[in-house]
């Protein structure tokens, strides 16, 4: 009997990382792929990116509507409550043998709780990482504690999952999922990208991705304004904005970006670039600026510089291509100056991505196939 692998995806970001695992499960004659799409995938505000999943040839077996129309903390909690209810219905209908989740977002946390209560084994990807400035920190470690199998991106993260009390035999170092995606996506040439996005690259160019710092109170608007003030003087620079995730105060950022783009002809914004468009942008811009995890986990593989603003990603492993600064106009301006300096650009030639070289999905699939599931739900705390 085929083993049913249910993969839960809640956003364009985690789908991009899960895609090759999904393809490998689909192609394996001994496995059956099940897909649950939830969160931002189903929202018109965030581009209804479930359509991208379908365009890639995957069948979505269940859609879990859970995203609230607003983004206060009470709205996020309402979304999580709805996700708990509807994910439990999805699991009852699909009856998977293993549920695969990635990362740390609240949608994924809700799915993990539902699977845990339903006594379905959970495989967690990208556990053990740390993001001091985000509520995702607690979600991520909680998901690890509910999971039976762990796939981590670096040795430091493997040790941290074991430190949480997980048996080392069930913690697998596979590398970063995003690194593998880079090697498998056919990137667009510069002229193609300009045509697809309807933009024109100027003398300089930057990709901007900024998300709310969800463990800081009432700082999102202030921080985004500081960033935009720093960018406003770059009239010779094409600025490509990607919109933030569905986090608390995310709509504040969206409104500020929209207003900035309306006033600056060199600025463009996109709800979702898709993985091909996003990676193609990284390939052709001078650097990436913001506070997205991608700036630390994927951009170094392009040997491009990342300006990492504020505390959202504090705690993650970093390549030498990352420039850290506070969310203050003067520091951001200084970081941009460093990004374009000859010494820094020369240093990029020797950049090594700490998240590996890209072969994660095949390692994950082998474990999902061969791990005995009898008795796997009950686990003892592993004392160091």
Same domain, 198 and 296: yes
Residue range of the domain that includes 287: 186-350
Residue given tokens 């697809």 in the structure block:
196
| 152 lies in the same domain as 194 | no
> What three-state secondary structure class fits 179?
helix
Residues 18, 136, single domain; the answer is: yes
**Each residue's pLDDT tens digit in the chain (384 positions)?**
899 999 999 988 899 899 999 999 999 999 999 999 999 899 888 888 899 999 999 999 999 998 876 667 888 899 999 999 999 999 999 999 999 999 999 999 999 999 999 999 999 999 999 887 678 889 999 999 999 999 999 999 999 999 999 999 999 999 988 888 888 889 999 999 999 999 999 999 999 999 887 666 567 889 999 999 999 999 999 999 998 876 667 788 999 999 999 999 999 999 889 889 999 999 999 999 999 999 999 999 999 999 999 988 888 899 999 999 999 999 999 999 999 999 999 999 999 999 887 789 999 999 999 999 999 999 999 998
Number of C-beta neighbours around residue 381 at 10 A:
9
Whether 185 contacts 279, CB under 8 Å:
yes
8 Å CB contact between 34 and 4 = yes
For CA atoms 166, 172, 176, 182, the dihedral sign is negative
Residue 68 lies in a domain: yes
Number of folded domains that form the chain: 2
Question: Residue 9: in which H helix or E strand, if any?
Answer: strand 3-9
pTM for this predicted structure: 0.86
CA angle 16, 21, 25 (to 5 degrees): 140
- The HSE-up count of residue 317 (CA atoms within 13 Å, CB side) is 22
320 in the same domain as 290: yes
Which element (helix H / strand E) includes 132? none
Whether residue 377 lies inside any domain: the answer is: no
State the CB neighbour count (10 A cutoff) for residue 276: 17
Give yes or no: residues 54 and 200 share one domain.
Answer: no
* Interstrand relation of 149-152 and 31-38 (parallel, antiparallel or unpaired): unpaired
- For residue 340, give the CATH number of its domain: 3.40.50.2000
Specify if 379 maps to a domain: no
* 382 domain residue, yes or no: no
């Amino acid at each position: 009997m085929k083993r049913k692998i249910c993969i839960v995806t809640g956003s364009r970001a985690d789908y991009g990382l899960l895609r090759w695992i999904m393809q490998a499960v689909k192609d394996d004659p001994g496995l059956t792929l099940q897909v649950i799409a939830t969160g931002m995938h189903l929202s018109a505000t965030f581009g209804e990116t479930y359509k991208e999943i379908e365009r890639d040839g995957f069948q979505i077996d269940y859609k879990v509507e859970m995203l609230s129309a607003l983004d206060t903390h009470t709205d996020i909690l309402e979304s999580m409550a709805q996700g708990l209810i509807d994910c439990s219905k999805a699991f009852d209908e699909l009856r998977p043998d293993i549920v695969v989740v990635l990362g740390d977002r609240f949608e994924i946390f809700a799915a993990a709780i539902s699977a845990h209560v339903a006594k379905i084994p959970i495989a967690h990807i990208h556990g053990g990482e740390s993001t001091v400035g985000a509520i995702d920190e607690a979600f991520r470690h909680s998901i690890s504690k509910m999971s039976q199998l762990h796939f981590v991106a670096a040795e430091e993260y493997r040790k941290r999952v074991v430190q949480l009390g997980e048996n080392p035999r069930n913690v697998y170092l596979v590398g970063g999922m995003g690194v593998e995606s880079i090697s498998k996506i056919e990137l667009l040439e510069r002229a193609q990208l300009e045509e697809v996005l309807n933009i024109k690259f100027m003398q300089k160019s930057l990709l901007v991705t900024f998300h709310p710092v969800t463990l800081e109170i009432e700082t999102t608007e202030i921080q985004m304004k500081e960033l935009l003030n720093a960018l406003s003087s770059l009239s010779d620079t094409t600025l490509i904005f990607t919109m933030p995730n569905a986090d608390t105060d995310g709509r504040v950022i969206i409104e500020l970006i929209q207003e900035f783009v309306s006033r600056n002809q060199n600025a463009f914004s996109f709800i979702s670039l898709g993985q091909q468009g996003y990676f193609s942008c990284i390939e052709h811009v001078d650097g990436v600026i913001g506070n997205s995890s991608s700036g630390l986990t994927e951009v170094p593989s392009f040997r491009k510089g990342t300006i990492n603003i504020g505390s959202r990603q504090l705690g993650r492993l970093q390549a030498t291509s990352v420039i850290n600064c506070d969310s203050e106009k003067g520091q951001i301006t200084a970081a941009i100056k460093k990004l374009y300096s000859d010494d820094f650009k020369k240093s990029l030639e020797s950049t090594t991505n700490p998240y590996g070289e890209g072969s994660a999905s095949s390692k994950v699939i082998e474990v999902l196939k061969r791990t005995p599931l009898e008795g796997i739900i009950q686990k003892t705390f592993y004392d160091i």
